[in-house]
Structure 1
Amino acid sequence: MEVEILARVQFAFTIAFHYIYPPLSIGLGLVMVAMEGLYLKTGNVLYEKMTRFYTRIFALIFGIGVATGIVMEFEFGTNWATYSRYVGDVFGSALAAEGIFAFALESGFLGVLLFGWNKVSPRVHFFSTVMVTLGSMFSAIWIVVANSWQQTPAGYHIVGTGLNARAEITDFWAMVFNPSSVDRVIHVWIGSFLAGAFLVLSISAYYILKGKFQDFARASFKIALVLATVSGLAQLFAGHRSADIVAKYQPAKLAALEGHFDSLGTGDMYLVGYIDKKAQKTHGIRIPGGLSFLTHGDFKAPIRGLRSFKPDDRPKALNVTFQSYHIMIACGMAMIALTLYACWLWYKRKLFDKRWLLLLFAWAVILPQVANQAGWYAAETGRQPWVVYGLLRTSDALSKSVTANQVIFSLVLFSLVYTLLFILFIYLLNKKIKHGPYSTGDIDHSPRHKTMAGEFEGI
């Protein structure tokens, strides 16, 4: 197998595994802010129990996320030396900003969040929870800015020629606010909110189905349901905005996402289907002119198709791009349908009456993870054959000295280590969930809880 393919597989595996955790920490952090804020406002001890419990889960997620994220930076140097030299100034600025403005903030207050419950005042602890959450969100900003610059480069000029060429920043803020960065940051944030909210929904649904910690689980379910519903609906608009940016700046990617070949015809929107690459045709269920309408507000507006690009400038893995994009959308629509139906039952005071729905929510924690992974795959495979869109091809970005055997060896080792880490993560997460926020029966012996438990039935 070619070194380029192996290096891409290794990086895709590494970042896909890492990308399980940052969205969870961002979303769960926001849920914790809501829970602890409600505790400060109402004094209800259940909100404090929620925050303490999910803080323990947050710490586990944060630890695995940091451990798996460090590896990627080394891969830039080992497998992608030409790329690292080319984008070093841009990525160096963004990653330095992440360290100064995001990671330092997040890690600085993490100790207070984890160990300060009985050592600082409730307001100071709440402030630390907010700062940790903001730090995780700021971290996402700088990572997405760096990646967005690869999609829509801005604020730079090229210094040197050939293998010594590199992009040098001429306008830092133009680089930061490149054409796709703001919309992609919002898109990633909302995907993270959904990941955190659905984790809480899943755990809460599990407790309700098992008959454990009922008041705790019902209250936390409702808090997470509000965030999941709002985030799911907001993602419709954020996703549409991101697609508009793709249509304007990366037309080849848009054509690949929707399997559109004919550059003279209107663009159909496929609900499901597959691409026959050899025949240059897409088969499936479609809405005629749907892509044209979403892009230009006109069902008959022409959309530039894949045939209008040189074969070497088209994404190669068309079906991967097409299917990933549609899987992301399908998962997003499923989350919206689930949360809206649950809200309707909440309005009818029947939210927890349907066990089949609670069972769906217990397993629906997978949906935002699949959506986030599929969206990332669609964005990255759709950008090919460019690693920096229109400037540097992926085939030219490789390290010149790395061999296929070296990449295979490290890929096998990474696979083993990451598999062990994932097994450990699932084991510890399962252990914390089964243990619960406190021992069974403790809350029934709490006079303070007895005086306040009733208010949850009215939420």
Structure 2
Amino acid sequence: MDIVTLARIQFAMTTIFHFFFVPFSIGTGVVVAIMETLYVIKKDEKYRRMTKFWGNIFLLSFAVGVVTGIIQEFQFGMNWSDYSRFVGDIFGAPLALEALLAFFLESTFLGLWIFTWDRVSPKLHATFFWLVTLGSMLSAFWILAANSFMQHPVGYTLNNGRAEMTDFGALLANPQVWYEFLHVITAAITMGGIIVAGLSAFRLLKKDKDIDRDFFKKSMRIGFAVALFGSFTVLLAGDEQMKYLVEEQPMKFAAMEGTYEDTGSPAAWTVVAWANEAEHHQVFGISIPYMLSILAFNEPFGSIDGMDTVNQQLIETYGDRNYYPPVNTLFWSFRIMAGFGALMLLVSGLGLYFTRKKKPWLFEKRWLLWVVAITLFTPFIANTAGWLITELGRYPWTVYGLFTIEDSVSPNVSVTSLLISNIVYFLLFSGLGGTMVYLVKREMDHGPEKEAFGEISQGDNQDGYEDPFDKEAFEG
């Protein structure tokens, strides 16, 4: 393997693993905020218990997400120093705002939320967590503002081989950032709902008599409601983003549809296909007439430029080279993402219907609980597939039309150093992932019967216990 390939593998590994936990924490944060709001409105103790229990799951994802984010930033300087020099002036402002504004907001109010149970009013306490959720979304926004510059550069000038910012407002007005942001946030909300519903299903599948089944049944219904809203809105957001790509990144769109030749009007949508990427042609495919025109233009006519045409246009604009992305990866990643998105919409909608009070069939059929439980893994797969589309689709650019992958790699790294760092990162991520799974499983096994955030539940031995945050601890 060469340096560029190893550096790309490391970027993919760090990004994908980090992105397991970004939507995890944003989505579960939304669910926990809703649960605490229900407690404030209804004054029902069960919602307080839900908030504490699922808040523990959120805290685990938040902690691992912070660690993996630091690792991702570290490998930028290690493997992509020329890229960092090129975009440093552009990325400085949004990444500084992400750290100084969004992350500080998130972490400060998270600390207040953890340590002020029964010390402030329920309304104020719930407000703390909504501010945590807002902070996590703002963090995502600033990161996506930087990523959107890579997809659609705006507000810059080239000076001495570097991109320098000339208009910060243009970064915020970049249409790419708003399409990405809405897609990512709605996907995160979906993920949060599916995680709560899926983990609740796993818990209900246990035959332990001590399980508080009513707690997990109610948690599951809240998860379904959140996932139904998220999965419906993510389909709308994703559809709008795909239509935007028809004009802005036609090569990415054509690759997602496996289209080498111009479609003509009307355009057929290819359901399944396989491409010979070396010779740039489709080996086989099954298509539905008119469907691609309807998906792309909301009408049964309209044509799509194929990859051959777009490649020639890019050659004329940027010079003679191969601009074809990895077609099969993009084609199938799009179908995996969309397919699992539709599955989550179906499971959450039917889940709400089959858990209604009159006929809660889902709770009575183990095989239905297994369907919900297995669905827990689908948002991780769908989000990964979506991120592959975002990053691989602009090949061969790191910054579309301005800076290539080959130009971005650090000039002083070696194959040996990259091999070693890839192995170290893989082992580190495996350890973090295994620890995360273990801790989540432990929390689920403890159940809501064990009070969260260090509080001692009834029946525990309280002899010698002293709350370090109790004001009396500082007296005398």
TM-score > 0.5 by shorter chain: yes
Instruction: Provide the residue aligned with 2:231 in structure 1.
Output: 232
Asked whether the 8 Å contact 1:259–1:282 carries over to 2, the reply is no
Instruction: Provide the residue aligned with 2:86 in structure 1.
Output: 86
Q: Distance in 2 between matches of 1:143 and 1:198?
A: 24
How far the C-alpha of 1:265 sits from its partner, in A, is 2.7
Distance verdict in 2 for CA 1:287–1:444, change over 3 Å: farther
Asked whether the 8 Å contact 1:268–1:290 carries over to 2, the reply is yes
1:170 aligns with 2:166: yes
1:182 is matched with which residue: 175, 178, 182? 178
Give CA-to-partner distance per residue, 1:10-35, whole Å, 9 cap, x none: 01001111111110110011101110
Partner amino acid, structure 2, of 1:177: A
Give CA-to-partner distance per residue, 1:42-84, whole Å, 9 cap, x none: 1111000000001111111111110111011122211111111
Distance verdict in 2 for CA 1:300–1:58, change over 3 Å: same
Return 380-389 or 117-126, whichever deviates more. Answer: 117-126
Instruction: Provide the residue aligned with 2:290 in structure 1.
Output: 289
1:306 aligns with 2:307: yes
Q: How does 1:357-372 map onto structure 2 within 5 Å?
A: 357-372=368-383
Q: How does 1:34-49 map onto structure 2 within 5 Å?
A: 34-49=34-49
1:214 aligns with 2:224: no
How far the C-alpha of 1:222 sits from its partner, in A, is 1.1
Partner amino acid, structure 2, of 1:295: A
Q: Distance in 2 between matches of 1:402 and 1:30?
A: 42
Partner amino acid, structure 1, of 2:223: A
Return 344-353 or 12-21, whichever deviates more. Answer: 344-353
Q: Distance in 2 between matches of 1:264 and 1:36?
A: 52
Distance verdict in 2 for CA 1:59–1:264, change over 3 Å: closer
Distance verdict in 2 for CA 1:366–1:264, change over 3 Å: closer
Task: State the SS of the aligned residue for 2:364.
Answer: coil
Q: How does 1:398-417 map onto structure 2 within 5 Å?
A: 398-417=409-428
Asked whether the 8 Å contact 1:205–1:361 carries over to 2, the reply is yes
Q: Distance in 2 between matches of 1:299 and 1:371?
A: 28
Task: State the SS of the aligned residue for 1:273.
Answer: strand
Asked whether the 8 Å contact 2:15–2:72 carries over to 1, the reply is yes
Distance verdict in 2 for CA 1:275–1:55, change over 3 Å: same
How far the C-alpha of 1:273 sits from its partner, in A, is 2.6
Partner amino acid, structure 2, of 1:293: I
Q: Distance in 1 between matches of 2:102 and 2:80?
A: 26
How far the C-alpha of 1:274 sits from its partner, in A, is 2.1
How far the C-alpha of 1:395 sits from its partner, in A, is 1.1
Q: How does 1:298-447 map onto structure 2 within 5 Å?
A: 298-308=299-309, 309-310=311-312, 312-346=321-355, 349-350=359-360, 351-438=362-449
1:200 aligns with 2:210: no
Partner amino acid, structure 1, of 2:346: A
How far the C-alpha of 1:86 sits from its partner, in A, is 0.9
Task: State the SS of the aligned residue for 1:270.
Answer: strand
Instruction: Provide the residue aligned with 1:454 in structure 2.
Output: none
Q: Distance in 2 between matches of 1:304 and 1:26?
A: 37
Q: Distance in 2 between matches of 1:380 and 1:319?
A: 14
Q: Distance in 2 between matches of 1:364 and 1:282?
A: 32
Partner amino acid, structure 1, of 2:255: A
In structure 1, runs of 5+ residues without a counterpart are 446-459
- Percent identity between the two aligned chains: 38
In structure 2, runs of 5+ residues without a counterpart are 316-320, 460-476
Asked whether the 8 Å contact 1:90–1:167 carries over to 2, the reply is yes
Instruction: Provide the residue aligned with 1:31 in structure 2.
Output: 31
Instruction: Provide the residue aligned with 1:455 in structure 2.
Output: none
Q: Distance in 2 between matches of 1:356 and 1:444?
A: 35
Partner amino acid, structure 1, of 2:44: N
Return 87-96 or 303-312, whichever deviates more. Answer: 303-312
How far the C-alpha of 1:121 sits from its partner, in A, is 2.6
Query: TM-score scaled by structure 1?
Result: 0.92
How far the C-alpha of 1:115 sits from its partner, in A, is 2.3
Asked whether the 8 Å contact 1:155–1:169 carries over to 2, the reply is yes
Give CA-to-partner distance per residue, 1:316-340, whole Å, 9 cap, x none: 3211111111110111111111122
Partner amino acid, structure 2, of 1:297: N
Asked whether the 8 Å contact 1:386–1:394 carries over to 2, the reply is yes
Return 384-393 or 284-293, whichever deviates more. Answer: 284-293
Query: TM-score scaled by structure 2?
Result: 0.88
Partner amino acid, structure 1, of 2:300: F
Return 81-90 or 297-306, whichever deviates more. Answer: 297-306
